[in-house]
A and B are shown apart, each in its own frame.
Chain A
Amino acid sequence: MGSLQLKSVRKSFGNVDVIKGIDLDVKDGEFVIFVGPSGCGKSTLLRIIAGLEDATSGSITIDGTEVVTVPPAKRGIAMVFQSYALYPHLTVKDNMGLGLKQAGAPKDEIEKRVAKASAMLSLEKYLARRPAELSGGQRQRVAIGRAIVREPKLFLFDEPLSNLDAALRVNTRLEIARLHRDLKATMIYVTHDQVEAMTLADKIVVLDAGVIQQVGSPMELYNKPANLFVAGFIGSPGMNFIEASRLGITDAKTFGVRPEHIALSRDGGDWQAKAVHVEHLGADTIVYLESDKVGAFTVRLFGEHHYAPGDAVYATPSSGQTHRFDANGQAIR
């Protein structure tokens, strides 16, 4: 009841191409996350799916129906915005019910669906309040409730957690994950935060400069990045890239290894290096190193380790967890 197909969708503003031909298949019930740096076109793509922007060319089908010429309200979608976008003059209840009211649903039906959605989000106590009388987290729950009430084929989330503080963000993230399990609805979610992407998604779509860089499950992207961009974007701290020639590798341009896939030792190893800076995070220790052989790189160790700047150490990348990229930045497998 909620599949989506995009076929060579393009969008230009004047001479600037923002979306350069996107093909994507979203299956019913999937949680798909668009992730990418600012300006990569992810929000624009979501707005095109919603019908708030017109695609310059290409086709969009929801549940097998071409929707390019269908207005947003008739596409069977619901959207949650970063800024909540609640109607300031309506109560929580009316905010949630407005879409159905506009569609001409009977009163008791609206009543029933609002009651169900507010129970799911524990908003019953606030139904008579106006948005101004709610906290940020409650407002975002109302915005999500407004989407649920419409029982859409497709949920669209546009960076819904960006305006929340860190603790609320984790709670709301869990809530969205729970909703996805309960509703079994198709959700498309835009974020620039890779933690949200990794934790929520069934399928991540990495976008850069208006082009899909890779589509895959979180672990696929982590373990088998298709190119340099994805390798550098997914994972924190980012992957270390080393010129392959420095390591004597001839069949690749760039050698990559994640900071957590390098072992450190004071006694011996592949690369001799010196610690430049150390960050102690409790659960992790992040060591920034400088080596004559491979240049600057980062190592992430689990737990507490007592390295200090200036320490001489040896680093060894663990075999089987390294990546090689050709001159075009594509991964060599």
Chain B
Amino acid sequence: MSKARASLTRTSLVHLALISYAIISVFPVFLTLINSMKDRNAIFRNPMQLPSPKTFDLVGYYTVLGQGDFATYFQNSFIVTVASIALVLLFGAMAAFALSEYRFRGNTLMGLYLAIGIMIPIRLGTVAILQGMVATGLVNTLTALVLVYTAQGIPLAVFILSEFMRTVSDDLKNAGRIDGLSEYAIFFRLVLPLVRPAMATVAVFTMIPIWNDLWFPLILAPSEATKTVTLGSQIFIGQFVTNWNAVLAALSLAIFPVLVLYLVFSRQLIRGITSGAVK
């Protein structure tokens, strides 16, 4: 913001709003983290208190990590998330390129059809999806989850990426055509690098709901070998007794892989190599 337009009150009001929103967003995470490191009594007696030497207890983490399956759960979550993101980005970007680059009959209609996926939640089709997975023998496989999440992520990916691809200079693509690049080479070598920030945005938006999802793992892949972290944590939540230490510890641990993925993608968000391409 330029100095001339920035009044102190205005700036401080903006920052006040941003800070309070940040506190509201981070608070539950913070609460989970501090309570995961306290003993059971302290969690219930003083949930807001930071762990003190007296209440500090890593019993939750011992329980979670001691139960050997959790490594598998993490691995499953990670495989499903990464594979889904990869497929969403690949197919979403290809569809977006076709929609934004080529004039063909039914182009707009196809774009609208794909956009409908953003408005209708995929969970409405759970029963049909389950029937389909049973029929194809994919129940209790990670493939089932990857397929569902790819379908879930593609509409938004196409929507965002096709807008971005429209902004890629036509001259650049035409220069590639004159130099004899195939349409695939133009897509992978000229267009994709230029929309990388948009790809990172899509990756982040796609990743978080997948990582946090409980619904589809519960329905499509509840077997011990295919459980994801969110589903795996449920074993500590009983009908009568809940092992809060373990639940909070599992959730705290689940934050880290997704945080790492986020950092990877957000680095891409800021790195732009478009400058100098055109103009």
Is A88 a contact of B276 with CB atoms below 8 Å?
yes
- Give the tally of cross-chain contacts (CB within 8 A): 87
* Centre residue among A81, A88, A158 by max chain B CB count within 10 A: A88
Convert B188-226 into 0s and 1s, putting 1 for each residue whose CB lies closer than 8 angstroms to a CB of A. Answer: 011001100000000000000000000000000000000
Interface size on B, residues (CB 8 A): 22
Rounded to whole angstroms, the CA-CA distance of A84 and B169 in the bound complex is 10
Give the residues in chain A near B179, CB-CB below 8 Å. Answer: 73, 98-99, 102, 146, 150
For window 137-153 of A, CB contacts with B under 8 Å fall at 139, 146, 150
Q: What residue in chain A is nearest B275 (Cβ atoms)?
A: A132
Is A103 a contact of B180 with CB atoms below 8 Å?
yes
Rounded to whole angstroms, the CA-CA distance of A99 and B277 in the bound complex is 17
Rounded to whole angstroms, the CA-CA distance of A288 and B179 in the bound complex is 51
Interface residue SS majority, chain A: mixed
Rounded to whole angstroms, the CA-CA distance of A54 and B193 in the bound complex is 28
Q: What residue in chain B is nearest A132 (Cβ atoms)?
A: B276
For window 81-119 of B, CB contacts with A under 8 Å fall at none
Q: Does B273 contact A (CB under 8 A)?
A: yes
Give the residues in chain A near B181, CB-CB below 8 Å. Answer: 73, 98, 102
Q: A73-B179, A102-B179 are in contact. Are A85 and B276 (CB under 8 A)?
A: no
Q: A72-B177, A73-B180, A88-B194 are in contact. Are A83 and B278 (CB under 8 A)?
A: yes
Q: What residue in chain A is nearest B277 (Cβ atoms)?
A: A88
Rounded to whole angstroms, the CA-CA distance of A84 and B279 in the bound complex is 7
Q: A79-B175, A131-B277, A133-B276 are in contact. Are A85 and B180 (CB under 8 A)?
A: no
Convert B147-183 into 0s and 1s, putting 1 for each residue whose CB lies closer than 8 angstroms to a CB of A. Answer: 0000000000000000000000101101111111100
Q: Does A86 contact B (CB under 8 A)?
A: yes
Q: Interface residues, chain B, CB within 8 Å of chain A?
A: 169, 171-172, 174-181, 189-190, 193-194, 273-279
State the 3 A-B residue pairs at the shortest beta-carbon distance, nearest first. Answer: A132-B276, A73-B180, A102-B180
Q: Interface residues, chain A, CB within 8 Å of chain B?
A: 47, 50-52, 71-74, 77-79, 81-89, 98-99, 102-103, 130-134, 136, 139, 146, 150, 158, 163
10 A–B contacts from the bound complex (CB under 8 Å): A52-B178, A71-B177, A81-B174, A83-B171, A84-B171, A87-B176, A98-B179, A130-B276, A131-B277, A136-B279
